[in-house]
Chain A
């Protein structure tokens, strides 16, 4: 056996050992099923006369190829290619499109929230005509409002940001950036997407059932969410919400197993862990977080379903009196749900921000033409954030009724997680120092990301401290905080990523003029919408309230809420520019070539869009880290990862980058 230049295996005659080839190994004869080039072994399916098909694993060095595998068909049928595709790029784009579509839904729900909070009690003819079930006499109904709030949060967190970052960018970028042909488990990858679809169908169907969609908030605290009589949205809508989430979690677990395995096992030659682009580090730690935290929510969701449908009492204590009668539940504890939920819920917010941190680092380096500053600290802080994110969950529970002493511990871990976050921020600043910034739309969004992350991160310092949080908890200050640090920052990373990788995904550019206009309006719109929410929180305005008119202490907030609503509508409208630009550029954007931004990472070494299998013939070999921008003495201001550290050694030498023996 000799190793080919492509990592594939060949036999002594140089014939390719590939799935489908007829081979012989000693006495065995059969068809190659799978090849593991990294280990030099392959699996043969033999057709023994009586035993039926058997699989045997053999060493590649013992194999003789009798008949090479037929060339792969170039044109798969449409359905295999675009619908039930196994190609990670198609699956990534499916995730991207689906998430963007859900973002539109979530965005419309946000507009409904602001419609109500800006002008409580006003009759809206048009909105009432569009959502006949949610309005009575032209006024939004309180149960509809709560369903809208709940679904906005659920959709944006689970069905937009989680899916677009890990499912969309993760799927598209991981194999391309590590130099692999596809994910480790393509079929599981397809299943991951095709479980997302039913999850969405179930979730959206809940709008149309009796009682409407779930109305317990995206956190769905029991007993409200456990007792159907407690609220209209606690009926079938809540059951569907739990089922949708359970399906989604299975989809995300398929995905994260795949990402972890792929990153660990399928890196191309030379791609050591410390040469991975930070995008991959972010996605990798994210996948680990998902794998470890989502099963907990899955278990909690099943337990809550049992409480609702099976008469168990995980979360409902004895003596609960709802709707004029005492329920028969006994022995449960509502705080258990909160612990289980936030054991997922806090890692979840890092699931939304870590991929963005990685992407923004890479985009900043590419368009700033400068290496990322402090790569090791960047990797270290991503890992540190990942570890600490499992130790901070109860900072959501300072007022929940848990022992106040416990709050001390969670305050400490929560403020500790601010340290790696601060390190990242300063590293981004240092990356900009001495850069030569090209103000592409992607770069603008990356810069905006840093601003939003800082603004939202700093308000977290208030909330981490239990004494201050006592006042701020469950007010609009919290709403402002997480919309900056998690929602808007992650959204900016998504936009940066789309403007940056659109040419790679679709072979065309998005319009930069429209893109920049979109950035300006979005950046201003986000600050105008969410910054004043801090003040509403200072004044004590609670989350999830349908109207501010009942309380005396909220009366002065009316003009503030009108301002926020107007800003939010502007922000919402500005996104139409993006929708137009995206759809138009898919077909009409200027054609992009292989590496238009002058980037170093592997995805730019193949055509735009990359072919099936990603790299036309051989897999690239990596010789250097991902950030050789403006390397002194190099001919261009970027050196791709595939360029050897020094000119290729003597003829006959391997294109390896090991130090020559002294």
Chain B
């Protein structure tokens, strides 16, 4: 240590850094998280599969929280305890095979369990086939709005053609030459039924968007050229927001859609009031 700058008292600095790590990171981290639970937190879940996702989230939070606290407490303790103090040298200790294997294997096992647990949830929420009685909706993202379509009495979606898109008269681009398109119902607001599974097929006109309904724990990009289907079951009546979660241009921040979850009767009543999008105005 030839001419290194004079260091302040190591014992004092060690204590200060240990307190910084413990106070700011451990106490601050845990404290602000607890504080945030009441204010800035996952909105109450409103879909059937969302509960499983939340359980996975909370168990991950507990596991990572324990590691977070544990590692930082050790870090603070070591920094405080092993500050250079008095004469003497550090210990010449640089390998301990069993210790190293222990802290290789324990995380490996913990992570393997986590893989299994979330694999099971994933299989349930994303790989399972939708029930046969599911409602089916076609949702299309555009710059910068959402548009929903219901198949109408024939139960089939008609052909759409981007060349037929007209912002005022035919925003969906329905093809009037296709009989199946003539009874399709188009709505700016997405209407769903509480307790009834819904298959949402997602499309996009031009750029990527992402169909995000926080309360439903649902997020799926919409990709031009692809029709992607997700399904879920809303569990709570009420109004929710559709957010766009994938950058789609200058209006990305304002690409807000609305979801209304009805009781089955209210939904049927709403649907009955709708006129097909291609029918001439009365």
Q: Mark A residues whose CB is within 8 Å of B.
A: 142-143, 146, 215-217, 221, 223-224, 227, 230-232, 316-322, 324, 326, 332-335, 368-377, 399-401, 404-405, 407-408, 411-412, 415-416, 418-419, 422-423, 425-427, 429-430, 432-440, 444, 447, 450-451, 454-455, 458-459, 461-462, 465-468, 470-471, 473-475, 509, 512, 516, 520, 523-524, 527, 531-532, 534-536, 538-540, 542-548, 550-553, 556-557, 560, 590-598, 627, 629-632, 637
Contacts and interface: CB of A to CB of B under 8 A. Distances in A.
Instruction: Give the 10 A-B CB pairs with smallest separation, nearest first.
Output: A317-B225, A434-B91, A371-B94, A540-B214, A535-B40, A465-B118, A545-B253, A322-B206, A370-B90, A439-B13
Contact of A557 (B40, B74, B100, B126): B40
B249 A326 contact: no
Contacts of B222: 401
B107 interface: yes
A590 B253 contact: no
A281 to B, nearest CB: 16
Contacts of A516: 8
Given A373-B93, A539-B40, A540-B243, A432 B111 contact: no
A380 to B, nearest CB: 9
B127 A468 contact: no
A230 B111 contact: no
B214 A422 contact: no
Contact of B100 (A369, A374, A468, A597): A374
A439 B208 CA distance: 50
Interface string B32-49: 110010011111000000
Given A321-B142, A415-B114, A447-B17, 9 more contacts: A370-B92, A399-B219, A434-B91, A438-B84, A444-B17, A527-B25, A531-B28, A550-B256, A553-B214
Interface in B6-24: 7-8, 10, 13-14, 17, 20-21, 24
B252 A593 contact: no
B210 A434 contact: no
Contacts of B82: 368, 432-437
B3 A473 contact: no
Contact of A454 (B40, B53, B72, B90): B72
A122 to B, nearest CB: 16
A113 to B, nearest CB: 13
Contact of A597 (B1, B43, B57, B89): B1
A371 B36 CA distance: 41
B225 A334 contact: yes
Given A440-B4, A547-B253, A629-B90, A466 B20 contact: no
Interface stretch (B63-71, B147-155, B180-188, B264-272): B63-71
A408 B122 contact: yes
Nearest to B251: A142
Which of the listed residues B61, B115, B206, B245 has the most CB atoms from chain A within 10 Å of its own CB? B206
A450 B73 CA distance: 12
B56 A465 contact: yes
B107 A418 contact: yes
A322 B212 contact: no
Most interface-central of A436, A454, A455 (chain B CB within 10 A): A436
A556 B39 contact: yes
B146 to A, nearest CB: 13
Given A326-B162, A429-B74, A473-B245, A462 B60 contact: yes
A637 B89 contact: yes
B228 interface: yes
Contact of A432 (B79, B121, B228, B243): B79
B40 A321 contact: no
A230 to B, nearest CB: 5
Nearest to B43: A553
B256 A523 contact: no
Interface residues of B, number: 111
B88 interface: yes
B96 to A, nearest CB: 8
Given A467-B121, A543-B247, A550-B253, A423 B100 contact: yes
29 contacts: A215-B249, A316-B224, A317-B225, A320-B224, A321-B206, A322-B205, A334-B223, A399-B245, A400-B221, A411-B122, A425-B71, A429-B71, A435-B82, A436-B85, A450-B75, A451-B25, A466-B126, A467-B122, A467-B125, A471-B57, A509-B5, A512-B7, A527-B28, A527-B29, A535-B41, A544-B252, A545-B252, A553-B243, A556-B40
A458 B67 contact: yes
Nearest to A413: B115
Interface string B207-245: 110101010011111111110100000000000010111
Interface string B119-143: 1011001110000000000000011
B207 A224 contact: yes
Given A454-B68, A471-B219, A594-B2, A630 B91 contact: yes
B225 A405 contact: no
Nearest to A224: B207
Given A142-B250, A556-B40, A435 B223 contact: no
A515 to B, nearest CB: 9
A401 B219 contact: no
A594 to B, nearest CB: 7
A439 B8 contact: yes
A474 B7 contact: no
Contact of A375 (B28, B91, B92, B95): B95
Nearest to B99: A430
A595 B1 CA distance: 7
Given A419-B107, A542-B243, A439 B225 contact: no
A368 B221 contact: no
Nearest to A225: B207
Nearest to A335: B223
Given A334-B223, A538-B41, A550-B254, A320 B206 contact: yes
A551 B206 CA distance: 23
B5 A512 contact: yes
B118 A546 contact: no
A407 to B, nearest CB: 7
Contacts of B108: 419
Contacts of B251: 142
Contact of B207 (A322, A373, A536, A591): A322
A595 B2 contact: yes
Contacts of B83: 436-437, 439
A524 B20 CA distance: 9
